[in-house]
């Protein structure tokens, strides 16, 4: 029993580090994606700078913590809370942008109006970052960490499964708009949903760490899919008129390069959540 507490403490530090790395990756994806989309929109509304500032601060806070920096905890927590607030507000603005158009909530507006997935991803990154601080704060305490009275592993499995499902929905919408012209476009709407289901199952089941090996393997596959997706999107940019020589236009109008890594970030967060679930089961 004397050695149990240090083992738990070490595990908390590792899981918090992985959650922070996942949050940083998701912040970075949102930062680049928002910069491209809002630049294309000419920053018509000054509020369009807000997600860039919030996600940039999130990248800095998450990376600093992941690499063991010594920045004030309040500053880091403030960056994560800011991301949550800006993401939630942005989600409201984007929904308003869709609904105010002629036809309201129809396919055309969902295709071409402000995407609802981007601000939701910013809020999600803030939530994962805040959760990582909570897990890190449990370092040295007996028992598994809890978030709002719920075991942290269960809570994070639920959150990441919802994030994966929402990302799949956004991708399905955009790939449907592209008529799934390349068969590879089916991969991000067929593989990650399985990860979402397996992670959701881990959030609700009683105790079955041995049966989660398949979930871990599938989440790793999802993480690699996100990395490979950048290469596929880069190929899509190269196929546009002028290719990469006309990158200023084709990066704006072609497949979004920063979108696929969101799958990698959420898969990494889900893997950390599964490790927390193992501690809760044990």
Which tens digit of pLDDT belongs to each residue from 99-145? Answer: 999 988 888 888 888 888 899 999 999 999 999 998 988 765 666 77
171 and 110 share one domain = no
**Residue 275 is part of which domain span?**
147-282
| Last residue within a domain, chosen from 143, 164, 198 | 143
pLDDT tier at 71 (50, 70, 90 boundaries)? confident
Domain edge (last residue) among 120, 143, 166: 143
**Residues 158, 99 share a domain:** no
Place of tokens 């959150």: 159
DSSP-assigned states of every residue in 119-176: HHHHHHHHHHHHHHHHHHHTTT-SS--EETTEEHHHHHHHHHHHHHHHHHHHHHHHHH
Same domain for 118 and 8: yes
Q: Are residues 34 and 109 in the same domain?
A: yes
Residues 53 and 167 in one domain: no
In terms of domains, do 217 and 106 share one? no
Domain count, the chain: 2
Among 93, 118, 143, the domain boundary falls at: 143
Identify the three-state secondary structure at position 239: helix
Same structural domain, 5 and 139? yes
User: What is the model's pTM?
Assistant: 0.91
Q: Convert the pLDDT of each residue in 179-226 to its tens digit.
A: 898 999 999 999 999 999 999 999 998 776 667 889 999 999 999 999
Please report, rounded to a whole number, the percentage of residues in the chain having pLDDT higher than 90.
63
Mean pLDDT of the chain: 89
Q: Are residues 125 and 83 in contact, defined by beta-carbon separation less than 8 angstroms?
A: yes
Q: Do 154 and 281 lie in a common domain?
A: yes
Tell me, yes or no, whether 151 and 77 share the same domain.
Answer: no
Rounded Cα–Cα distance for residues 124 and 119 (Å): 9
Backbone angles phi, psi at 64, to 5 degrees: -60, -45
The residue written with tokens 């690499």 in the block is 67
Report the share of the chain in percent with pLDDT over 70: 93
* pLDDT band for position 3 (cuts 50, 70, 90): very low
- The answer to whether residue 68 scores a pLDDT higher than 50 is yes
Contact at 8 Å (CB) between 54 and 34? no
pLDDT above 50 for 2: no
Residue 4 reports pLDDT greater than 70: no
Of residues 157, 155, 158, 92, the one with CA closest to residue 123: 92
Residues 125 and 91 both lie in one domain: yes
Q: What are phi and psi of 150, to 5 degrees?
A: -105, 140
Q: 86 and 54 in one domain? A: yes
Q: Are residues 121 and 38 in the same domain?
A: yes
**CB crowding 102-118: b at 16 or more within 10 Å, else e:** eeeeeeebbeebbbbbb
DSSP class of residue 106 equals: S
Q: pLDDT tens, 218-250?
A: 999 999 999 999 999 999 999 989 889 998 888
């Amino acid at each position: 029993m004397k050695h149990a507490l240090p083992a738990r403490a070490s595990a908390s530090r590792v899981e918090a580090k992985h959650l922070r790395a996942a949050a940083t990756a998701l912040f970075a994806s949102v930062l680049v994606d928002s910069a491209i989309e809002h630049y294309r929109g000419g920053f018509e509304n000054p509020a369009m700078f807000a997600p860039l500032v919030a996600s940039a601060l999130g990248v800095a806070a998450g990376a600093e913590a992941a690499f063991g920096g010594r920045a004030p905890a309040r500053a880091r927590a403030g960056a994560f809370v800011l991301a949550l607030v800006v993401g939630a507000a942005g989600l409201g603005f984007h929904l308003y942008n869709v609904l105010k158009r002629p036809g309201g909530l129809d396919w055309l507006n969902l295709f071409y109006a402000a995407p609802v997935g981007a601000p939701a991803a910013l809020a999600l990154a803030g939530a994962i970052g805040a959760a990582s601080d909570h897990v890190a704060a449990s370092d040295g305490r007996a028992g598994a960490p809890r978030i709002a009275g719920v075991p942290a592993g269960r809570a994070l499995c639920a959150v990441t499964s919802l994030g994966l499902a929402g990302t799949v929905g956004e991708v399905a919408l955009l790939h449907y708009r592209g008529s799934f012209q390349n068969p590879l476009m089916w991969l991000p709407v067929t593989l990650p949903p399985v990860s979402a289901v397996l992670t959701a199952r881990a959030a609700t089941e009683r105790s079955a760490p041995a049966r989660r090996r398949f979930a871990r393997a599938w989440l790793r596959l999802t993480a690699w899919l996100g990395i490979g997706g950048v290469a596929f999107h880069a190929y899509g940019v190269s196929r546009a008129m002028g290719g990469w020589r006309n990158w200023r236009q084709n990066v704006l109008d072609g497949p979004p390069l920063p979108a696929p890594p969101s799958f990698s970030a959420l898969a990494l967060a889900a893997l950390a959540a599964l490790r927390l679930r193992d501690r809760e089961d044990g």
